[in-house]
Structure 1
Amino acid sequence: MSEPLFPHEVIPAVPQGPLHLVEPEMFVHLLRVCQLPGSPGGHHAGLTARNRAILWLLWETGMQVSELCHLRLADVDRAGGTVTVQGKRGPLRTFSLSPDGKRALGAYLDQARLTPAWEPAVPEAQDRLLLTERRRPLIKSSLTGLFQRMSRRAGFTRMPICPSMLRDTYAIRFLQAGGTLAALQQQLGIADRVSVKRYEHFCEQQRQV
Structure 2
Amino acid sequence: MKWETALKDYLLFLRIERGLSTNSVHSYGLDVKKLITYLEDKVINISPIKITPNIIQEFVYNAAKHLNARSQARLISGLRSFFDYLVFEDYRTDNPLELIETPKIGRKLPDTLSEKDIDDLIGAIDLSTNEGERNRAMLETLYSCGLRVSELTHLKLSDLYFDEGFIQVTGKGDKQRFVPIVASTIKYITIYIEQVRSHLNIQTGHEDTVFLNRRGRQLTRAMIFTIIKQLAIKINLNKNISPHTFRHSFATHLLQNNADLRSIQLLLGHESITTTEIYVHLDKKHLTEVVEKFHPRK
TM-score (norm 2): 0.56
Native 8 Å contact 1:185 1:196 kept in 2 = yes
Q: CA deviation at 1:147?
A: 1.0
Match of 2:248 in 1: 168
Equivalent runs, 1:1-209 vs 2, <5 Å: 17-36=108-127, 38=128, 44=129, 46-89=130-173, 92-113=176-197, 115=198, 117-120=199-202, 122-156=203-237, 158-204=238-284, 206-208=286-288
Question: Quick one: distance in 2 between partners of 1:160 and 1:147?
Answer: 10
RCO comparison, higher one (Cα < 8 Å, 6+): 1
Between the aligned partners of 2:214 and 2:279, the Cα distance in structure 1 is 35
Shift, 1:33, TM fit: 1.4
Distance of aligned partners of 1:107 and 1:67 in 2 relative to their CA distance in 1, 3 Å threshold: same
Residue ranges of structure 2 left out of the alignment (5+ in a row):
1-106, 290-298
C-alpha RMSD of the superposition: 2.1
TM-score normalised by the chain length of structure 1? 0.78
- How far off its partner does 1:167 sit? 0.7
Q: CA offset at residue 51 of structure 1? A: 0.5
Q: Percent identity?
A: 23
Structure (1 or 2) with the larger CA radius of gyration: 2
Kept after mapping to 1: 8 A contact 2:122/2:136 = yes
Give 1:191's aligned amino acid: E
CA shift, 1:204, in A, is 4.2
Shift of 1:208: 3.7
Deviations 1:18-62 (A, max 9, x none): 3322112111111221115x5xxxxx2x21111011111011111
Q: d(CA) in 1 for partners of 2:192 and 2:214?
A: 13
Partner of 1:13: none
**Is contact 2:201–2:215 with CA below 8 Å preserved after alignment?**
no
**More displaced, 175-184 or 61-70?**
175-184
Secondary structure of 1:84's counterpart equals strand
Aligned pair count reads 183
Contact 2:142 2:246 in 1 (8 A): yes
